[in-house]
Structure 1
Amino acid sequence: MAEIVLITGLSGAGRSGTADVLEDLGWYVVDNLPTTLISTIVDLAAKPGSDIPRLALVGGRQHGSLLEKIGEIRASGHRVRVLFLDASTPELVRRYNATRRRHPLADQVEGLVESIELERERLDPARAAADLVIDTTDLNVHQLKDRIVDAFSASTESRLQVSVESFGFKHGLPLDADMVLDVRFMPNPHWVPELRPLTGHDPKVRDHVLETAAGSDFVDRLDGLLASLLPQYEKEGRAYLTVAIGCTGGRHRSVATAEEIAKRLRSRGVAVRVAHRDVAR
């Protein structure tokens, strides 16, 4: 049985960089493999004595036909995970303008934005089928590498991995969230002069937010909800779950809450990573 990951997603969202990281982690990477050869290479990787125990297939223009193969490969007993790389349209436009590359669908519509939106529409089924969606809009190459290493290093492959992410609603919703929670009802440190320059990492901010009836009750209830849900996700074979917690700016309430939830998850042995998208804004 082979470990297989299918890397798909929007052009310019980081497929090539992701493939490079997986290759460094020991995965055998095949880019733009024709659909007709997928079964062949999977069979080769699964043979006894094969030196391809972990196989990464990078989708090019054949995203849809690659997805059609997933069911039959899984039915053969292989573990297949689908990674979808996403990014906002303005960010993709910026990246294409910086590199001066043509979009793969430039011949089918007029304009870069239209090309990106057409590809996004065509890839909706792939995104819906993904086990893990990573929004690379605000990630540099080093941060993307960290996300890939966290998700696909050998030590974490068999466990449900939970990402807890704080964000600010005024900066937009995270594209990769499975669950979005709003903590704007909590006391806002922004209106306390001595707390405004601090972040949710500071104990004073944490206490202001969470040492209240509303804050402590919410965290207890969310902790209980996750304690109930995570075993069910794991039972269903879910490999990843991203919980996004948002406040207005993403600096105080969401950060403090995300850190507290991550701490509680770790205390129960859950593999968890925490990220703060907007804390530095």
Structure 2
Amino acid sequence: MIQNLQDTVTLNNGVKIPGMGLGVFQIPDADTAAIVEAGIKAGYRLIDTAAVYGNEAGTGEGIRRGLAATGLKREDLFVTTKVWNDGLNGEQTKAAFEESLTKLGLDYLDLYLIHWPSKDANFKDVWLAMEDLYKAGKIRALGVSNFEPHHLAALLSYATVKPVINQVETHPRNSQTAVREFNAAHDILTQAWSPLAQGTLFDNPTLQQIAAAHHKSVAQVIFRWDLQHDILLLTKSAKASRLVDNAAIFDFTLSDDEMAQIDALNQDHRVGPHPDEYNFEL
């Protein structure tokens, strides 16, 4: 379990990734640079975006500004983006990667993910193209997002490069136990998106009681729950001040009983779509 905001864990290919990072989902491109810059200044070293977010250019600008403001080097950051899989072939995947890299203004990516599986599990060409980019040294690690165990099983049947991460909607009402167990069995780390269930957990009495006992916010308690389950964590805020609050989770520990109480909140309830039911038309 990580001990601070810069602490890392080791992926199955030996690359190290910060255990907690800043995501920019639903942040307008015009606002993203300021948030990313503020995040880097606040100590975040993992920045997560995606082609479909429409803010890769702003993310790249924020990275440049953040590096200039802090004196850090590119290699001090870990940058993730994602390819939108909608029946792409190999060449289209490589073109999408180059477009993302250009928008970000980077020479390489630390992590590249398939954003969603398709209903017919038609992502083989996408993955094999990503493997080519990885073997060419343009990407340091490959992963997936929103993959159920059957999607991962299909991918693992032909992959020559194992995914390092499966990024899935994970929060106390959707604890993803089956997915996390499958990931762990195959040395794939779980990374949480929407850990606060889009704010729908803030009025939960159990979480409020635990938060009060530790003089923390409900959000901080949830983030701590993730870390104590060894779930990699992506947080998001459009307010720079809240970025600091989100990271104030390393000075307390949830007891075994408190962890069990939070675990018991699971209802397999999603705030986003189920991967087997998602419509990929934009």
TM-score normalised according to structure 1 size: 0.30
Structure with the larger helix share: 1
As a proportion of its length, which structure holds more strand? 1
Higher relative contact order, structure no. (Cα contacts within 8 Å, ≥ 6 residues apart): 1
Pair member with larger Rg = 1
